[in-house]
Amino acid sequence: MQPKLFFILLAALLMSATVQSQTCTTRGQNPSTAFPVCGLDTFRQTIVPICGSRTIPTPCPDPTLYQDKNPFWYKFTCFATGTLGFTVTPFNSNDDYDWQIWDVTGRNPNDVYTDPSLFISCNWSSRPGATGTAGSNGSNVACAGPTYPNFNPMPTLVLGHDYIILISLFTDSQEGYFLSFGGGTANITDPKLPVLVTAKPNCDGSTITRTLNTKMKCHSLAANGSDFILSPSLAAITGAIGAGCTSGFDTDSLVITLASPISAGSYFLAAQNGSDANTLLDNCDRNIPVGDRVAFNYVVPVPIRADSIGQIGCAPDKIRVYFPQKINCGSITFSGTDFSITGSSPISIMSAEGDSCQNGGSNVIVLQLSSPIYLQGNYTLGIIPGLDGSPVLDVCGQPILPQTFSFSTKDTVSAKFSLNVLFGCKIDTIQYSHPGGFGINSWMWTFDSASIRTSSLQNPQVIYPVFGNKFTRLVVSNGVCTNTAWSEVDLNNHLKAAFISTDVICPMDTTGFRDTSIGMITSWRWSFGNGNTSNVRNPPAQIYPLIDMLRKYPVQLIVENLAGCRDTLTKNITAVANCYIAVPTGFTPNGDGVNDYLYPLNAYKADNLEFKVYNRMGQLIWETKDWTRKWDGRLNGQLLSTQAFVWTLSYVNRDTGLPFRLKGTTVLIR
């Protein structure tokens, strides 16, 4: 058959199975009722009922083709990390069996239908015959079709993880198979040998609940209870039921029924071979040893008292009352009339109910108060069962006896605090203060960017060497109640003198000054170097007389803030005789100190300046963007001979913002 035709037929068969699918009702044919298995046994499935065809997510292409057709499910736990080897051997060698494994640790087994991340390994090969895992070569994914082998490499299992495996019969023959484990290094057999753990009689002594240390097969339990013997034999055992055996395969808890109630005293319950010729068998067919026994005492129930009340926290609005025996939740009057409370403030009980009642019983009764208790005080809780004519009973039907409990409460607390800022010129100091009271005995401060990061003092004083926003947190406690408060302080007394002015003054110019100082400034003192002063923030423009060809005038600004801190800045203003930009027509680089360089003269107010010099061939000889950088007539360190050069000059006038582009010639003279 051509491969393409095969896959078309395969898809048709799978779609047909989907159409004819039906609900699986046999135990073991759903993930939730999976058979428990172990590595010591070969499991024999004699018949495979037709059902299922629910879609199974796989890593294969077109995952809708893969379904749990005619399934059986098996579950196991890994008790030693290693590889898993197993084989599915059909009774009919022409049958096509498929399988897939998931890791379902901590998950609902039904998640295998929706969560692809649980996938471990799968084999959906269409080849008939035995299938499973062996060796370490190949892929852990074998999809539909005859090109895939029947055996995958052994997957690795992880200690403590739970796994589930699907065995799916594609061919609808309903003939069964053998499932056997072996060849791998993982251990899926519980190392614990089965033994009895506890035995506990019920209230009237007519039944005994027995717990085991591991799961035991339900079908190995004799229904007539003959797997057990009671000593002394004061009552005959008439039956035994495993918890969960009506819907599952195994159990670790049994209820043993007696012909008549036992009397108070000490007893042994021992294992023996029952009418089914065995004791109890675990999932590996290991039995509880004959004679294995557990001791127990039966005490005739008597009325009980409460053990204690729960710890009283901050502003309690509930009180938990603990009992040594489970209380019958149905006997608790919801209105709380079986309890009373008196003390420092008028508090009443609004309701009472069992906490998380399971099977109708709970060891704790929760009392809801009319309001939280915010203040310190002393109180008495009274248990007055039956005041309303309906007593509170334990699960054995015994009434709760009256009693009282004393308890005290603490005040609630507030962490709200105050602070006082002492501003300084280089550092600031903050004095923190908390009023205390309400039994507060713990303060925990946390400071931001301070000389110390934490303090346990009630009223700490903290130095801040850096200005800016500072966050502070305080947590207070009186041992029961806790509260937290925050504050944010802007230490904005940073002070820095700064101003903007013209650096160079040309003839007939005036210059203005604009303050850009930082801080909460209260005064400005200007000294302009020309004999004038000012005390305003932005003073009037100044005129600087030209005394020499170039004169520097020192301008000083002193600023002061509310704390009396000062900062000073001094800048020099340069007055020049000429601001007309020009390029000489000639220069003599002979080192006599006169006209030795070529550069644009007086370019004090030229922004974005570019000056370039070219030879007669148009080659760039020299260039600069700094007008004070001068050309000395050299190229590559060698002084050039007498000749003419072309120059270009571009700049933007600082005052007008107008651009200029100039061009001319200059002669180098030697």
CA 203 to chain CA mean position, Å: 47
| pLDDT value, residue 380 | 97
Q: Give the model's confidence band at 268: pLDDT under 50 very low, under 70 low, under 90 confident, else very high.
A: very high
Kindly state the average pLDDT of the residues 358-381. 95
CATH architecture group of domain 3-181: Sandwich (2.60)
Q: Give yes or no for a contact between 462 and 471, defined as CB atoms under 8 angstroms apart.
A: no
CA-CA distance, 558 to 498, in Å (whole number)?
9
Q: Is 501 helix (H, G, I), strand (E, B) or coil?
A: strand
Kindly state the average pLDDT of the residues 612-636. 94
CA-CA distance, 164 to 102, in Å (whole number)?
5
CA-CA distance, 338 to 389, in Å (whole number)?
10
For the chain, the average pLDDT equals: 92
* CATH fold label, 586-668: Immunoglobulin-like (2.60.40)
Query: For 29-33, 303-307, 440-444, 559-563, which range has the lowest pLDDT when averaged over its residues?
Result: 559-563
* Residue 3 pLDDT > 50: no
φ/ψ region of 414 (left if φ > 0, alpha if ψ in -120 to 50, else beta) reads: beta
Structure tokens at 241: 């039921």
* CATH fold label, 418-491: Immunoglobulin-like (2.60.40)
Q: Beta strand pairing status for 454-455 and 35-36?
A: unpaired
CA-CA distance, 507 to 377, in Å (whole number)?
88
> Looking at domain 499-576, does it have CATH number 2.60.40.10?
yes
| pLDDT value, residue 294 | 96
User: For the domain with range 308-409, which CATH number is right: 2.60.40.2180, 3.40.50.300, 3.30.2040.10, 3.40.50.970?
Assistant: 2.60.40.2180
- Please report, for the chain, how many H helices and E strands are present, in that order: 1, 52
CA-CA distance, 347 to 371, in Å (whole number)?
7
Cβ atoms within 10 Å, residue 608? 10
CA-CA distance, 7 to 218, in Å (whole number)?
44
| pLDDT value, residue 4 | 33
| pLDDT value, residue 466 | 84
| pLDDT value, residue 13 | 41
Q: What share of the chain is helix, strand, coil (3-state, %, to 5)?
A: 5, 45, 50
| pLDDT value, residue 654 | 87
| pLDDT value, residue 545 | 83
Per-residue exposure over 217-240, b if at least 16 CB sit within 10 Å of its own CB, e if not: bbebbbeebbbbbbeeeebebeeb
Q: What is the CATH number of domain 196-298?
A: 2.60.40.1130
The residue extents of the domains of the chain are 3-181, 196-298, 308-409, 418-491, 499-576, 586-668
Q: Beta strand pairing status for 196-201 and 131-133?
A: unpaired
| pLDDT value, residue 21 | 57
Q: Give the model's confidence band at 248: pLDDT under 50 very low, under 70 low, under 90 confident, else very high.
A: confident
Torsion angles phi and psi, residue 237, rounded to 5? -85, 125
Residues 6+ apart with CB under 8 A from 147: 3
Q: Same topology for domains 3-181 and 418-491, yes or no?
A: no
Give, rounded to a whole angstrom, the gap between the first and last alpha carbons of the chain. Answer: 104
Query: pLDDT tens digits for 103-144?
Result: 999 999 999 999 999 999 999 999 999 999 999 989 999 999
| pLDDT value, residue 611 | 97
Torsion angles phi and psi, residue 163, rounded to 5? -130, 155
